[in-house]
Structure 1
């Protein structure tokens, strides 16, 4: 998607350069408001910074830099879109998750050779006081925009049961669900910059097209700052491959390699060596589970909730009926009405802490009290089974494939509508006509 590609590159460059840029570059002594977007303003220094960042990235990639007026037009429109999205973030009251923000900041820090946020803050603020907080604010905005776009675009994607059935009956759908796949999996990670990691991954992809020797590829592309890991996964049913990756692999012909797959832990590549038909079912372990929950609140502290659940736990161990206690004391109204029963639960449905305790509790036993984000629990697994989830798995994968197809076009449509419905006033007459003539925001920088 063109708009999203420029957005991703613009943001990636901004984060890379921000670390080494003085705060003075963001606030010139005689700054000028060049555009008003809703309740926010775009300054001349913002535009200059954006142009510098995109120029730097294109030069680092050894790509031609567009003419200044053209690049200025692209960056201005991108800044307008960015501010329009931030206006929506405020409107919906979205707040950055502290854990996700810290993880994102730590990733930026590691790319600069720093292993802690404290050291990273000292390094940045030694360059110019306040640089760390400014970067943190910028990363927070980026995370919120991603979250906003995900929510807004996903709400526009409509996939009916009939769409799923039609896809599963198609040759592509049959290929996606009906066989075993021999796959090579490579991952590129390390402390190098995002651009360096991407360049190595692209070279690896080119080499992988004609080379299946995992060990030689690891040795060839690994360095002090780049770690390349690979594995020949052999033949395995599609149900054994994570759905996000399976959706990509299923569309390949033997000998083909996926595009670069950037995720939190690095850049992934998968090559399909061979596929063969298979009737193996996707059997999933399930646990018939019941629980008792004591929620924390303004009047119930975590310590009080813990003491209450420990008291209930001791009563269960002393022989009192679990279902009766759940109906009487549990703060989960949905399950309390049924003696605490959650029915048959598949792994991954509950929060990780609950999931881990459930899987480690023997049938008939009651777990010791444990805490999740919802409060304090005890649980009991009354039975286990292997459930054939083949049809459900196929339907989920089909929806994911169909959703990925729609996401880019729906994202473009949403951004166009957002731009059209946002109040924008260009203060600089020389930029006004340029902005009005801009209908596409990403021609200057295209994704590989």
Structure 2
């Protein structure tokens, strides 16, 4: 009997959240423990709930429902993995920010037709009291697990500088970082039979392998019922080429011709002539800044720190040297020795309050005292520039793409290790693979 990959079926989606939250709860007065996972328990009602949700979603997708015992075993395995991860969530103390949780639930609300959390709560609780609370708890749990996975799996991914360099040289890397391609594009269509059209397309492809004269090829192989259209697309970013065609260009080397591409409007053939890097540069504003920091401590209260920074601010306005005051009073040892200099700073490098002040203040002017999590500051921007960060940007894009490519395989490995290292006791022998293996 055909089975389904329930791991994919139960990936967190908006629809799944809403359906799951609206499903009835199967708790019974004498709810039995069906499995022990670490310090937590999976109840019979948890399994029944999961099975009901799986059947609901499989029916909604017109997919075949597996044998009951196979389905129960797969759902239990998913619950064991979930509880194993939640054990780690508790171990690492992973919390969900209330504002982030509200934003996540609000997105689900908007996609289901509600424009506020209160309206969404009323809508769900009308179905069954407490449904909104169930959904909110599920969203929070999913966010905790996702954060755990990011922390644990990303630390397993190793990407070397050579990996980045090789990726950027590859067709895929050039596509991701905005590389441009020079392509000849042919389309074969007409009223001929499919066999005749295919034969004509293969003939065009063979001619294209030998010549770049697209106009001559087009005229030579066009007939009364077969139309061969050709164009030199010139240099253009891969992102500006239709996805189904760009995917065929990406693996080609200069001089190579694609396989026949069957699309609704005909058979397409592409020949890659040249590649080049995108000329567009990633220019980032940078600020040459210096600051003075007065930290709070057991002996320096926030009010005392504020008074001290205001006194220094007044002295600078009265003509005292900024660098000398920074070297004398600043509690940031890294910059104090250099007269408070932070060098060239890009947006996003500093905490938000510092970043906002740095970007607003005119060059040469000393800011009003302001507070961050580190204490009280004054800062001065001495110069600005537009820095070409194209290379750094491309390297960051490459690392992100390589990381995403490795994430799923590393996640599978981490989940297997987590499952193997977690204490699991399945009470029902019919659902325990180890018990079955002994028979």
- Structure with the bigger RCO (C-alpha within 8 Å, sep 6+) is 1
**Which of 17, 20, 36 is the aligned partner of 2:19?**
17
The 8 Å contact of residues 287 and 345 in structure 1, kept in 2 or not, is answered as yes
Q: Deviations over 1:157-214 (max 9, x none)?
A: 0011111122223343344446359xxxxxxxxxxxxxxxxxxxxxxxxxxxxxxxxx
What is the aligned partner in structure 2 of residue 8 from structure 1? 11
1:89 Cα offset (Å): 1.0
Structure 1: distance between partners of 2:408 and 2:307? 50
The 8 Å contact of residues 312 and 325 in structure 1, kept in 2 or not, is answered as yes
What is the aligned partner in structure 2 of residue 33 from structure 1? 33
SS at structure 1 position matched to 2:383: strand
Larger displacement relative to structure 2 (62-71 or 385-394): 62-71
Q: Deviations over 1:226-282 (max 9, x none)?
A: xxxxxxxxx9989xxxxxxx8xx999664569xxxxxxxxxxxxxxxx998443433
The 8 Å contact of residues 73 and 435 in structure 1, kept in 2 or not, is answered as no
The 8 Å contact of residues 367 and 378 in structure 1, kept in 2 or not, is answered as yes
What is the aligned partner in structure 1 of residue 401 from structure 2? 401
Structure 2: distance between partners of 1:108 and 1:299? 48
What is the aligned partner in structure 1 of residue 65 from structure 2? 65
- Aligned CA distance change for structure 1 residues 36 and 310 (closer, same or farther; 3 Å): same
The 8 Å contact of residues 293 and 331 in structure 2, kept in 1 or not, is answered as yes
Q: Quick check: which has more Rg, 1 or 2? A: 2
1:343 Cα offset (Å): 1.2
- Aligned CA distance change for structure 1 residues 6 and 354 (closer, same or farther; 3 Å): farther
- Aligned CA distance change for structure 1 residues 250 and 66 (closer, same or farther; 3 Å): farther
What is the aligned partner in structure 1 of residue 431 from structure 2? 431
Structure 1: distance between partners of 2:167 and 2:314? 53
Unpaired runs of at least 5, structure 1: 182-234, 239-245, 258-273, 438-448
1:286 Cα offset (Å): 1.2
1:429 Cα offset (Å): 1.9
State how 1:44-59 maps to structure 2 within 5 Å: 44-59=44-59
Structure 2: distance between partners of 1:49 and 1:146? 22
SS at structure 1 position matched to 2:377: strand
State how 1:107-146 maps to structure 2 within 5 Å: 107-118=107-118, 120-121=120-121, 131-146=131-146
Q: Deviations over 1:387-434 (max 9, x none)?
A: 222221221122112111111110111111111111110011221239
SS at structure 1 position matched to 2:157: coil
Structure 2: distance between partners of 1:12 and 1:93? 26
SS at structure 2 position matched to 1:344: strand
Q: Deviations over 1:334-388 (max 9, x none)?
A: 3334332221111232234433322222211122334444444332111112222
Q: Is the aligned partner of 1:366 residue 2:366? A: yes
Instruction: Give the alignment's Cα RMSD to 1 decimal.
Output: 3.7
Larger displacement relative to structure 2 (301-310 or 55-64): 301-310
1:13 Cα offset (Å): 5.1
1:47 Cα offset (Å): 1.0
What is the aligned partner in structure 1 of residue 318 from structure 2? 318
SS at structure 1 position matched to 2:350: coil
Structure 2: distance between partners of 1:171 and 1:320? 58
What is the aligned partner in structure 2 of residue 173 from structure 1? 173
What is the aligned partner in structure 1 of residue 262 from structure 2? none
Structure 1: distance between partners of 2:48 and 2:436? 19
- Aligned CA distance change for structure 1 residues 46 and 329 (closer, same or farther; 3 Å): farther
Q: Is the aligned partner of 1:80 residue 2:83? A: no
Structure 2: distance between partners of 1:334 and 1:176? 38
TM-score, normalised relative to structure 2: 0.69
The 8 Å contact of residues 101 and 140 in structure 2, kept in 1 or not, is answered as yes
Larger displacement relative to structure 2 (331-340 or 42-51): 331-340
Structure 2: distance between partners of 1:178 and 1:312? 49
Structure 2: distance between partners of 1:302 and 1:28? 55
- Aligned CA distance change for structure 1 residues 280 and 151 (closer, same or farther; 3 Å): same
What is the aligned partner in structure 1 of residue 225 from structure 2? none
The 8 Å contact of residues 286 and 345 in structure 1, kept in 2 or not, is answered as yes
What is the aligned partner in structure 1 of residue 292 from structure 2? 292
Larger displacement relative to structure 2 (148-157 or 100-109): 100-109
SS at structure 2 position matched to 1:55: helix
